[in-house]
Homo-oligomer: A and B are copies of this chain.
Amino acid sequence: MKKNIIVGQSGGPTAVINASLYGVIAEAKKRSEEVGCVYGMLNGIEGFMQDRYMNLSEELTDEELELLKLTPAAFLGSCRYKLPEDLSSGFYPMIFQKLERMNIGCFLYIGGNDSMDTVSKLSRYGNSIGSGIRFIGIPKTVDNDLVGTDHTPGYASAARYVAASVREIALDASVYQQKAVTIVEIMGRHAGWLTAAAALARKAEGDNPLLIYLPEFDFDLEQFAQDVKAALDRQPNVVVCVSEGISDRDGKFICEYDNAAQTDSFGHKMLTGSGKVLESFIRNRYGVKVRSVELNVSQRCSGMLASGVDVEEAACAGAAGVAAALGGATGMMIAFERKAGLAYELEYVPKDVNAICNKEKKFPQEWIVDEGRDVSREFLDYALPLIQGGVERKMENGLPVYLYQKDGKTVRR
């Protein structure tokens, strides 16, 4: 008897997490002799525990499937839910009972570090009871911080968004003659991959952004003041890019430097970003015009500048997950391996998820140059192939058309 597939999405949204979902459904369709239907958990494992899921094979038309591929965020909804550490917890038999009842043969989970932890635990529990269900992780995170893989689906589109936005912000900042500093705060609490992508905004060496600071390098406020001054001496319009997670040598986040002024009139502490703190610092130090721009959630959820390469790779990762599971693999994540050689080529390789989950791949120290103020040419060579190409998007009334679901039903409008 044919077994069914169940797939979930977990963690923060990206521009291409739905492309991976598309890849899973499309591959399962191709293998209809081996696969029954594809179920989608609503809000990940958390929703599945509440028996919230949908039948993706039945619910989506071919046209909707194509729309799904280019819809950002997470079509199935997401969750941040950590499974019990103790594999003898009653949680596990409960989940496996549900899976058996639905005749599930493969469990695919699209997500980042924490989601791979879910795959690890379920596969280990499965092994311990001799279950035949296969558990496969499909990588996803704009942070690009998963170990064991060249890069992660979602990163490239976010990087392209950052690079294009910073190029435009630099253009915007250049229109006046007066000295001015623009500080752009970019996502990445612990890893600087996305902030580094700001270097792609330059058309030539010496272009803005003149300064780039990653969380992997100790941030020093005094040094920063000197860096900005030196940059202002070179040209009137200085664009600086900083990671939200920059911290000093004692590990204190720069966003925590904000002082008493940052209490609102209700007496509560307001949450500030590193960009705002540095904006205030530089303005008070030099009296120049300073603006800070937080790129915010659009970095991860905007489909406007989704990378064509990213979309296709994310879809392939989903398909490779189905193939690996049907081939008998379990407790694996589909990793990306870049082939040696000048032309950019990728292989999709299942790797032990236990060696991947709960770890963070930092931005390499050797790619941080100019005493922590810039990234190297090697990084550009690494990142450039990933941001190539766009996507042909369906538009209606001047705006992009996306696919939605509500309680497991596609919203058709």
Contacts and interface: CB of A to CB of B under 8 A. Distances in A.
Interface of A: 9, 13, 43, 46-47, 71-74, 77-80, 160, 163-165, 167-169, 171-177, 200-201, 203-204, 257-266, 268, 270-271, 276-277, 279-281, 283-284, 287, 289, 291, 293-294, 296-298, 300-305, 307, 384, 387-390, 395, 397-400, 402, 404, 411, 413
A398 B402 contact: no
A174 B79 CA distance: 11
Given A262-B260, A264-B257, A399-B160, A73 B175 contact: yes
A46 B258 CA distance: 37
Contacts of A203: 404, 411, 413
Nearest to A294: B294
Contacts of A177: 43, 46-47, 77, 79
Nearest to A78: B175
B280 A264 contact: yes
A298 B304 contact: no
Q: Work out how many copies of this chain go into the complex.
A: 2
Contacts of A395: 390
Contacts of A47: 177
A171 B294 contact: no
B398 A302 contact: no
Contact of A78 (B176, B262, B287): B176
B302 A168 contact: yes
A268 B284 contact: yes
A169 B270 contact: no
A293 B296 contact: yes
B46 A169 contact: no
Contacts of A398: 160, 163, 200, 307, 384, 387-389
A169 B293 contact: no
Contacts of A204: 413
B399 A200 contact: yes
A280 B298 contact: no
A264 B284 CA distance: 10
A296 B291 CA distance: 10
Nearest to A235: B406
Which of A74, A160, A200, A298 is packed against the most chain B CB atoms within 10 Å? Answer: A298
Given A301-B168, A305-B304, A74 B175 contact: yes
A263 B259 contact: yes
Contacts of A171: 13, 71-73, 301, 402, 404
Contacts of A176: 43, 77-80
